[in-house]
Amino acid sequence: MQAPDQTGHYRDEMKASAGLAVWTLAWVGTLALAVFGPELLWDSQPVASWAAVATNVAAGTGLILAHARYLRKIDELQRKINLDALAITLGVGYVVGFAYMAASIGDLIAFDGNASIALFSVLLSVIYMGTIVVGNLRYR
Amino acid sequence: MRNRLKDLRSQRNWTQAELAEHAGVSRQTINAIEKEKFDPSLPLAFRLARLFDLSIEEIFED
């Protein structure tokens, strides 16, 4: 019986996971800089604010690519669980997002728009993590 | 998809973890295939067939 090179496979998976973690931290860090920097660090100078936003977009691009790489490298059952979770999260994003837009156009939204977008992002994160947990329980 | 993976593994006295290590997947994946909750990809089906010196059709059936 010939065993394939599992050490290399595991190493690739761990490397992709570490890459995803690093890019996630970079994106969160640059987002915090872009949000709080204008008020706390550079007194709302437009050049600095644009630079911070551009850095955040660059880190976000890195995060997207790292996530795609992560999905290619992980175990195939984990890939299915992740893709199912992403499909549900994307679906909820569209449905709730457009429903929110319709409600907003109809002047049905009473609270602050910026807070709602932040809350919406948190909602999507919770749904993604929740469906990952459900997927793992399903295939336990 | 029905399969004989559990029987074949038992014949060789392998644990799920040992089979998973040889096949290059997680123990959770082997468990899900044995319980017929998850269908393996074609590359994984080929790897499993090679491990047991059988054809894919001898392990999996519709």
pLDDT at residue A10, rounded to an integer: 74
Nearest by CB to B24, from A6, A78, A139: name it: A6
pLDDT per residue over A47-60, tens digit each? 999 999 999 999 99
Q: How far apart are the first and last CA of chain B?
A: 5
Q: Could you identify the residue written with the tokens 């749904």?
A: A127
Which pairs with CB-CB distance under 8 Å and at least 24 residues apart come from A129-137?
A131/A84, A131/A85, A131/A88, A131/A89, A132/A81, A132/A82, A132/A85, A135/A80, A135/A81, A135/A82, A135/A84, A135/A85, A136/A81, A136/B28
Report, as an integer, the average pLDDT of B33-59.
96
pLDDT at residue A4, rounded to an integer: 46
B50 touches chain A (CB under 8 A): yes
- B22 and A80 within 8 Å at the Cβ level: the answer is no
pLDDT per residue over A60-84, tens digit each? 999 999 999 999 999 999 999 999 9
Q: What string of pLDDT tens digits covers the 140 residues of chain A?
A: 444 455 667 788 889 999 999 999 999 999 999 999 998 998 889 999 999 999 999 999 999 999 999 999 999 999 999 999 999 999 999 998 899 889 888 888 777 666 677 788 889 999 999 999 999 999 98
B26 touches chain A (CB under 8 A): yes
Nearest by CB to A77, from B21, B24, B29: name it: B29
Q: Write down the pTM of the prediction.
A: 0.81
A8 touches chain B (CB under 8 A): no
Q: Decide if the complex's ipTM is over 0.90.
A: no
